[in-house]
Amino acid sequence: MIIFLKKVRVSTIFSKFDPVIVEPLELCYLKSVLKTMNIENYLIDSLFGLEEPENIAPDLIILTGYNVAENKVLKEAKMYKEKFPDCKIIVGGVHIQLNRESFQKDDIDYVIHSQSLHRFKKVIQSIIDNSLPIFKGVDYYNNGHWHLGEIDSVLKRENILADRSLFYNFKNKLRYLEKSEVALIKGSIGCPYNCSYCFCKDLNQGKYIRTNYEKMAEEINGLDANYYWVVDDVLFANRIDALEFIHSMKTIVGKKSIIGYLRGDFILKEQDLLAELKIAGLKEVIVGFEATNNEELESYDKTINALDYPKIISLLKDYEIDLTALFIVQADYKIKDFYNLYRFIKNNKIEVFTISILTPIKGTKNYNEEKMDLTTLNPEKYDFLHLVKKSKLPKVLFYTLFYGIHLRLLKSKRVWKYISGKS
């Protein structure tokens, strides 16, 4: 059997700059599973110039992509079905887990809506055995009908490591802004929080599997990278997790540099741990501040006081831990709202930040509740950089203010270090 693993990508406004380039980690996990089954496979990803091998006809093609790539995934499934009529087509991934119905098309044979790698392995084995995958977590097309599998949840860690061949082949290209040779690490499943705007809480049917920090440290220790970006929704949710992380990282030979997501309220509450976390390798934290006033924060179900944000930023600077701050703007923003956000970023001397337009994600409760107010259903517009609801300001003015704030990034030494390193 020969399998193609393809990451379907759609370009965004910032694709030209590529400030972040990382492995297609989900496909690297699938590649690892296929390797244990001794199945010949090829990873295809335009970001790395990895195209379909010539003169090889696949028996199976696996397509995955983010929410913005929905139409392109369907288009490519149709294209591959016409090109390789006997080939089976599988689609899967985070977006598909929440929108299985959108992919139940004639050109697709299997829709995997489970996060379980063990479930994926069973599906592949059933195809090899020419039997039907009557499992939880997978829908399949047979005799003109879709057969729907029950919802599936991962209840415990599966202890499968991602294949790192792509990482080592392209590590000089991988980066997080000015930080180079960045490896992705995944430890937990799901998210323990319930922020209203985020779809992560809906994954794995809301079940959260915490990280085994000892296993994470072992994986980090076995990888030769400059930085290790832990892409869990939160690096640790409480003090006990943080202490376990610190203890586990002490077992590593040589200092490792960690990038991870942390909540502002955690940083404030557990500020006495920042020195130890810095020693343990914490180099950069990505913090979702979202808004600069409590009214907006309450609408997002965030349990923090915006007045504490300057203290959080100051603490990170004191311990020389880099910060990427995440903010959200809403379609009903007025000029003063954009000004307040700009002033907050300027006054707190935030070097690196991202700003997203509040966007309901297809497959979530928010999307269904707000569907009548949406101005477009085109998936490519749901990249958090486009308005999908009518703005109070004229659209041109809204975008001018939205992108205008980003110009402050040109004052960042880190951004210029990235630009100079790329040239």
Cα-Cα-Cα-Cα dihedral sign, residues 109, 114, 120, 122: negative
Q: Which of these three, 129, 147, 165, is where a domain ends? A: 147
**Any domain includes 160:** no
Q: Quick one: pLDDT at residue 352?
A: 98
Asked if residues 219 and 253 have their Cβ atoms less than 8 Å apart, the reply is: no
**Any domain includes 167:** no
Q: Give the domain CATH number at 16.
A: 3.40.50.280
Q: Quick one: pLDDT at residue 14?
A: 67
**Any domain includes 157:** no
| Closest among 112, 57, 125 to 85, alpha carbons compared | 57
| Closest among 169, 111, 164 to 136, alpha carbons compared | 111
Q: Quick one: pLDDT at residue 422?
A: 66
Residues 190 and 125 in one domain: no
pTM of the model: 0.95
Total domains present in the chain: 2
Residues 122 and 214 in one domain: no
How many CA within 13 A on the CB side of residue 9?
Answer: 16
Q: Quick one: pLDDT at residue 296?
A: 92
Q: Secondary structure of the chain: what % helix, strand, coil (to 5)?
A: 40, 20, 40
Within 1-69, residue ranges assigned H as helices are 25-36
Residue 241 lies in domain: 174-422
| Closest among 142, 179, 150, 187 to 25, alpha carbons compared | 187
Task: Give the residues of the chain that fall short of pLDDT 70.
Answer: 14-15, 196, 422-423
Residues 102 and 192 in one domain: no
Other CB atoms within 10 Å distance of the CB of residue 397? 13
CB neighbour list of residue 373: distance below 8 Å, 6 or more residues apart:
389, 390
